[in-house]
């Protein structure tokens, strides 16, 4: 059983207003007590109000309810499939936020739908045609910067370049190609729109200052100069 499946099962038990001990959960799911501690912490971090009753175990905070939303089996299957695709995105922040959201969503699945969704999850596999080493942990924060129009400072390293450049950017659009996330932004250093691979951003800082929306159009951007998806750049416009 995967961690996500175990978390959903624990949450389902807690919703029945049971008081559960770490030892009981450890035996039930055949994992260590330390693993159960991590599971409970994961639920808390996901926004589930798990409380500890001294000497008794875990339960849910009084008054906690889940909105009465119902999902069909097909809708549940779509979410399960999306989870596998998200796991292939190579951005740790995005994967973490999606899994925490999915915990909450799956907590309202009917038991029959939940059971079928777990079966489907074990039968979906996503393979990468290319084995390339790249990873990032900035997507979720940068998404917030886009919707709130916040300036972002980044340290960026281009491909096959040991030099790291400092940029102040106005983030506008993400797109994904070959499991890589690309950020299109106005770069104050270059005084123009540039594409930045998120996994090449070494460090970033979201600034509280907001920029004036330039009404960026991705259609106009690509029409002006087609993007080279193989090299991850627009011809003659270095980052």
Gap between the Cα atoms of 99 and 90, Å rounded: 14
> Collapsing DSSP states into helix, strand and coil, what is residue 61?
coil
Per-residue CA distances from 172 to 41, 97, 150, 218, 227 (Å): 34, 21, 10, 9, 16
Gap between the Cα atoms of 133 and 156, Å rounded: 17
Q: Is the pLDDT of residue 185 over 60?
A: yes
**Mean pLDDT of the region 175-185:** 88
Query: What six digits make up the tokens of 6?
Result: 């175990």
Structure-model confidence comparison of residues 106 and 216, the more confident one = 216
Buried b / exposed e along 19-37 (16+ C-beta atoms within 10 A): ebebeebbeebebeeebbe
Are the beta carbons of 25 and 10 closer than 8 angstroms? Answer: yes
Gap between the Cα atoms of 223 and 215, Å rounded: 16
Structure-model confidence comparison of residues 233 and 214, the more confident one = 214
Domain boundaries for CATH 1.10.10.10 within the chain: 1-124
Per DSSP, 212 falls in state P
Gap between the Cα atoms of 202 and 100, Å rounded: 25
Average confidence score pLDDT of the chain = 86
Gap between the Cα atoms of 239 and 233, Å rounded: 8
Band (239; pLDDT cuts 50, 70, 90):
low
In terms of CATH architecture, what is 1-124? Orthogonal Bundle (1.10)
**Mean pLDDT of the region 16-41:** 90
pTM of the model: 0.66
- In CATH, 139-224 is 1.10.3420: no
Q: Is the pLDDT of residue 233 over 70?
A: no
What pLDDT is recorded for position 202?
92
pLDDT tens digits along 73-93:
898 899 999 988 888 878 899
What pLDDT is recorded for position 125?
83
What pLDDT is recorded for position 222?
86
H/E stretch holding 205: strand 201-210
The residue with tokens 């659009």 is 173
What pLDDT is recorded for position 167?
97
H helical segments located in 2-129: 3-15, 22-29, 33-45, 73-87, 92-106, 111-121
What pLDDT is recorded for position 203?
94
Gap between the Cα atoms of 159 and 10, Å rounded: 44
Domain boundaries for CATH 2.30.30 within the chain: 139-224
pLDDT tens digits along 119-144:
888 888 887 766 566 788 899 999 99
What pLDDT is recorded for position 132?
62
Q: Is the pLDDT of residue 177 over 90?
A: no
* Strand ranges, E, within 92-200: 150-157, 164-177, 180-187, 192-197
């Amino acid at each position: 059983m995967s961690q996500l499946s175990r978390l959903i099962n624990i949450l389902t038990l807690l919703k029945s207003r049971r008081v559960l001990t770490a030892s009981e959960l450890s035996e039930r799911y055949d994992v260590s007590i330390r693993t159960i501690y991590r599971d409970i912490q994961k639920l808390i971090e996901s926004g589930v109000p798990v409380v500890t009753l001294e000497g008794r175990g875990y339960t849910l905070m009084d008054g906690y309810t889940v909105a009465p939303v119902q999902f069909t089996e097909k809708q549940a299957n779509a979410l399960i499939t999306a989870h596998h695709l998200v796991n292939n995105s190579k951005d740790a922040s995005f994967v973490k936020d999606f899994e925490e959201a999915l915990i909450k969503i799956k907590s309202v699945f009917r038991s029959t739908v939940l059971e079928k969704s777990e079966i489907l999850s074990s039968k979906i596999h996503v393979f990468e045609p290319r084995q390339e080493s790249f990873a990032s942990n900035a997507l979720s924060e940068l998404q917030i910067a886009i919707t709130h129009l916040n300036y972002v400072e980044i340290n960026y390293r281009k491909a096959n370049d040991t030099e790291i450049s400092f940029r102040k950017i106005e983030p506008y659009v993400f797109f994904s190609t070959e499991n890589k996330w690309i950020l299109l932004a106005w770069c104050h250093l270059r005084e123009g729109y540039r594409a930045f691979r998120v996994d090449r951003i070494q460090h970033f800082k979201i600034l509280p200052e907001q920029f004036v929306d330039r009404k960026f159009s991705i259609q106009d951007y690509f029409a002006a100069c087609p993007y080279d998806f193989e090299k991850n750049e627009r011809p003659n416009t270095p980052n």
